[in-house]
A = this chain, B = another copy of it.
Amino acid sequence: MQRIYLDHAATTPTHPEVVKAMLPFFTDAFGNPSNIYSYGQEAQGALEEARTKVAELIGARSEEIIFTSGGTEADNLALQGIAYANEYKGNHIIITSIEHHAVLEACKFLKKRGFIIAYLPVDEYGLVDPQDVKKAITDKTILISVIHASNEVGTIEPISEIGKIAKEAEVYFHTDAVQTVGHIPLNVDDLSVDLLSISGHKFYGPKGIGALYVRKGVKLASLMHGGGQERRRRAGTENVPGIVGLGRAAEIASHEMSKEAERLACLRDKLIKGLEEKIDNIRLNGHPRKRLPNNVDISVDFIEGEAMLLNLDLEGICASTGSACSSASLEPSHVLLALGVPPEQAHGSLRFTLGRENTEEDVERVLEALPRIVAKLRAMSPFLKSIK
């Protein structure tokens, strides 16, 4: 049975070209970039080349890129780093109720350490209102953090409008762009962001590597202390193969993402349309148009997301019930609840996220399998019986 992978928001397969680029840095050019002899300098050169490629993908300067161990570290560095370096100015941080757990939990930690966190609501599509951001700013506000696009429902937030408000108020502005970088074109100046989180494995780079864009002049404390790597902002021997892989993934994305986003948006719309036609009592979560080109997030009434997921898995189709980071939990998604989805519908949610190896046939297979699975599960559903 050929497996169909439709969970690219959780993780992507590493691009073969990325693996190829990484390989020499394990066994041959394996030097420590901090060292001044030739082995070290070889690694150092590769590091700076990768930094340039990542910077170019988001319209930044290479010295504004700090390599991290992934998106979670980038988010934690942004949140904790801004908080600690700017607490002399204030202790107020504004985020939204649909942030990724990395931002939410970093804020919970900061709350214990004396910071005040304001949570902004979203509308039924998951959109933040920039005017709500403006109203929430106080003279103690040191940071605003709004996710670029929701990893669950795919809604793309009005980051550039919020960025203008943040700039005017002279408050630092961070966006978790883990789901957008490498998928849709973006530019840190157009978005007016001061900090932006990147994760390698979300766009065909390797796991264990990411980056934080930090605009020149931003005051940031370190999360990881030690050696003087990354201009003293992130200690630890650089993950050279990982960084080279991230650079190669950025380079590939910069060539391919525009066309690929168009292709995926067609598949996405075909999948949404097909599911709406073939299954009663389902709803699309997130914004119908302002959404990631690869995201289909639905709630199916009367049945559990997990049951659909496992039945799809038996047929070789890999989907998700929402964020991979929380799928071990039995709580309904905080994002769906923030959108006003009733808990029973939130429990019946399913996310498909398309990627570069998916084809029209994959979409057709889902459109054949899921309606059948839903019918079977509904026939056994205690929810459905109770309302009959």
- Hey, which bits of chain A sit against chain B, CB under 8 A? 3, 5, 7, 10-14, 16, 18-19, 23, 26-28, 30-32, 34-40, 69-73, 75-76, 100-106, 108-109, 199, 201, 206-209, 221-229, 235-242, 306, 309-310, 312-313, 318-320, 323-329
Expressed in whole angstroms, the Cα–Cα distance for A352 and B31 within the complex equals: 15
Give, as a whole number of angstroms, the nearest-CB distance from A93 to chain B.
14
Question: Is the Cβ of B208 less than 8 Å from the Cβ of A109?
Answer: no
B-side contacts of A237, CB under 8 Å: 10-11, 70-72, 199, 201, 207, 324-325
Counting from the closest, the 10 A-B pairs by CB-CB distance are A208-B239, A227-B325, A72-B236, A69-B69, A102-B226, A105-B225, A14-B26, A37-B313, A11-B32, A10-B32
Q: Given A208-B242, A225-B108, are A71 and B11 neighbors across the interface (CB < 8 Å)? A: no
A39 to B375, CA, bound (A): 25
Shortest distance between the CB of A364 and any CB in chain B (Å): 20
Contacting pair A11 B31 (CB below 8 A):
yes
Q: Is the CB of B208 within 8 A of A69?
A: yes
- List residues of chain B with CB within 8 A of the CB of A28: 13
Q: How many copies does the complex hold?
A: 2
Given contacts A106-B225, A206-B241, contact A72 B37 (CB under 8 A): no
In the complex, are the beta carbons of B326 and A227 less than 8 A apart?
A: yes
**Contact between chains at B36 and A226 (CB < 8 Å):** no
- Bound-state Cα–Cα, A257 to B105, Å: 41
Give Cα A309 to B26, complex, Å: 24
A323 CA to B309 CA, complexed, in Å? 50
A227 to B322, CA, bound (A): 13
Question: Of residues A23, A226, A235, which shows the largest number of chain B Cβ atoms within 10 Å of its Cβ?
Answer: A226
Given the contacts A101-B235, A106-B226, A207 and B11 also touching, CB distance less than 8 Å: no
A110 to chain B, nearest CB (A): 9
Chain B residue with the shortest CB-CB distance to A202: B237
**Cβ-defined contact, B32 with A226, below 8 A:** no
Residues of chain B lying within 8 A (CB to CB) of residue A16: 27
In the complex, what residue of chain B is closest to A205 when comparing beta carbons?
B26
Decide: A27 and B39 in contact? CB cutoff 8 A: no
* Chain B residues with CB under 8 A of A223: 76, 223-224
Q: Which residue of B lies closest to A19 (CB)?
A: B26
Tell me whether B238 and A207 are in contact (CB under 8 A). yes
- Residue pair B38, A328 in contact (C-beta under 8 Å): no
In chain B, what residue has the closest Cβ to A39? B318
A19-B23, A39-B318 given as contacts; is B328 within 8 A of A228 (CB)?
yes
In the complex, residue of chain B having the shortest beta-carbon distance to the beta carbon of A223: B223
A37 to chain B, nearest CB (A): 4
Task: Report B-chain residues with C-beta under 8 Å of the C-beta of A76.
Answer: 223-226, 235
The smallest beta-carbon distance between A100 and chain B, in angstroms, is: 7
The complex places the Cα of A3 from the Cα of B36 at a distance, in Å, of 15
Given that A5-B39, A13-B27, A14-B26 are contacting pairs, would A227 and B72 also be in contact in the complex, using a CB cutoff of 8 Å? Answer: yes
Q: Tell me which of B36, B209, B325 contacts A228 (CB under 8 A).
A: B325
Q: Which residue of B lies closest to A329 (CB)?
A: B228
Contacts of A73 in B (CB 8 A): 69, 224, 236
**Hey, which chain B residues are within 8 Å of A75, CB to CB?**
226
